[in-house]
Amino acid sequence: MDSNKLILLKVDLQVQMNLMAVIHQKLLDRATRLSADDDIILESIAYQIHNLYGTVEDLLKIVASCFENNISSTSQWHSVLLQRMTMEIPGIRPALLSPDSYTTLNSMRGFRHFFRHAYASDIDYQQLTVNLHRALELKKHLDHDVSQFLLRLDGEKS
């Protein structure tokens, strides 16, 4: 990878990581007010989990497009993108996601799908708390994954 392309990738990834940090902080703030009886806070947390997943998915798409690993627009592209980012592609790029991040994101993908299509459903408190915990844990996993990914890219550049 040429140095200009690497610089641009780093900037794009940092922008996404900054967005994720903002959403992570919102989740931390809202988690302190979590109550099974407060529909507004439940919906707010669910919305932020949805936003967090979307931000991560955008990060994955940045990596895929940078390395020309575009995912076709099949109905399964969300899961294919996650799987692809766990793979090292020899001569092209290192893996981005660790197994822990993949497992967490795949579970959150299911929650996001529910949230996006649950027009007349209430948010289940138990399901929300499980996904809130996953979302809060995700930051440390992704911080590590992205850091390791960039270190490996820098090592390949030298």
Confidence check: pLDDT of 140 > 90: yes
Confidence check: pLDDT of 146 > 70: yes
Confidence check: pLDDT of 158 > 60: no
Q: Comparing 45-49, 57-61, 122-126, 129-133, which segment has the lowest mean pLDDT?
A: 122-126
User: 3-state class of 89 per DSSP?
Assistant: strand
- Alpha-carbon gap, residue 63 to 68, rounded angstroms: 8
For the chain, give every domain's residue range. 3-157
Contact (Cβ atoms closer than 8 angstroms) between residue 51 and residue 45: no
pLDDT of residue 77: 77
Helical packing angle, 99-117 and 77-85, nearest 10° = 160
Rounded to 5 degrees, φ, ψ at 95 are -65, 145
- Alpha-carbon gap, residue 14 to 76, rounded angstroms: 27
Reported as a single tens digit per residue, the pLDDT across 41-66 is: 999 999 999 999 999 999 999 999 89
pLDDT of residue 69: 67
pLDDT of residue 118: 67
What number does CATH give the domain 3-157?
A: 1.20.120.330
Q: Which DSSP letter does residue 93 get?
A: B
Confidence check: pLDDT of 152 > 70: yes
**How deeply is 103 buried, as exposed, middle or buried, from its count of CB atoms within 10 A (0-12, 13-18, 19+)?**
middle
Beta bridge partners of 142: none
Record the tokens describing residue 106, joined without a space.
């795949």
pLDDT of residue 75: 65
Contact (Cβ atoms closer than 8 angstroms) between residue 100 and residue 141: yes
Contact (Cβ atoms closer than 8 angstroms) between residue 33 and residue 128: no
Reported as a single tens digit per residue, the pLDDT across 64-119 is: 989 876 666 666 777 889 999 999 999 889 999 999 999 999 988 878 767 766 66
pTM: 0.89
